[in-house]
Amino acid sequence: MAAAGNWCLIESDPGVFTELIRQFGCSGVQVEELYSLEPSCFQELKPIHGLIFLFKCLAGEEPSSNVVNDSRLQEIYFAQQVIQNACASQAIINLLLNCEHPEVKLGPVLSEFKSFTANFDPSSRGLALSNAEKIRKVHNSFSRQQIFEIEDVKIPEKEDNFHFIAYVPVKGYVYELDGLQNGPIDLGKISDGADWIEVVRPEIEKRIQRYIAGEIHFNLMAVISDRKQKYKARLAEISSMNNNEQYAAEVCHLEALINEEETKDKQHKLLECKDFNIIGKGCGRKEKEKSGKEDVAIETAVMAERFELLAIGLFRSVEKDNMIGFRKSVLVEKDDWDRMDDFAG
């Protein structure tokens, strides 16, 4: 791959990805993590503009035979990856530049990049992306920081290779956008009246089933409409109505949902703080002591939730319950759950 400036590894975290998108200048979207492939889990997040999938690269994987090479290439934005460590931003940008939902605003940086590269082939687009200084600086501002480990947690001798790809619906078809491929991969046509998620779910299940049951080697995130923005728009709509007292219960519910999203934003900013790093295996007590009581409470709550969801996914097979067990490329062993008590204490 070309060496056009250094691109850093970033964590596979929905909060990090949401903030990354916002720093690119794009608005109207956020990223949420999926812990199950059950239809109800996707239903809760609608509208879903695309999916980002992180997986461990396996030896002997064959290139797809369904690469698009017809006139549809004019309708799909696809840039190849030509530089190492850029696959997270590559997947996000490939996804966003194919999104035509009215709530999604690309912003100046991504709009200008899309316009500038509109007539480029996938390889030239990838080269242009690798040399896009504004995008690279934003990407590198989310570089993975020093990991603080709980005592006695085993550290792998070497890191596995992980890769991000995107899934998007475009003009009635669903495509896999993998920067390491020669072009978009056609996953199938969306039937009339059907949800595009029904086309992509079997493909994700197929990928997950390649791994040994119980291993944490994948991560799935959905790019959805900004929930807080949607809730506030509905509140404004109610406020403009006459006799809006009848909507009092809905107003209370919407205000609670907005508060929940704001709390989540605080958690995301805490996780992104360069003096403070949590990636699913705990953090150093000295780092905890630097923060206030509120930050420690948020940190503990986030860790407890992550460990609980990981535990569910880790000990259930995909075939049985459609559960996804994952967390940022880190394999968490069963003995590590016992350390949660020490952390929370």
* Residues labelled catalytic: 87, 163
> Can you read off the two tokens belonging to residue 47?
């509208």
Q: What whole-number distance in Å separates Cα of residue 104 and Cα of residue 92?
A: 13
d(CA 306, CA 210): 24
Question: What are 188's strand-pairing partners?
Answer: 174
Q: Which residue is associated with the tokens 């001798």?
A: 157
* C-beta neighbour count of 179 within 10 angstroms: 25
Q: What is the distance between the alpha carbons of residues 36 and 325, in angstroms, rounded to a whole number?
A: 9
Q: At what angle do helices 107-116 and 133-140 cross, to 10 degrees?
A: 130
User: Facing residues of 27 across strands?
Assistant: 105
- Residue in this structure with the two tokens 């029904």, named with its chain if needed: 198
DSSP 183: S
C-alpha angle 90-122-171 in degrees, rounded to nearest 5: 85
- Residues 306, 312, 313, 314, Cα dihedral to 10°: 100
Residue 39 has φ and ψ, to the nearest 5°, of -55, -35
Q: Cβ(49)–Cβ(224) under 8 Å?
A: yes
The whole-angstrom separation of Cα 120 and Cα 112 is 14
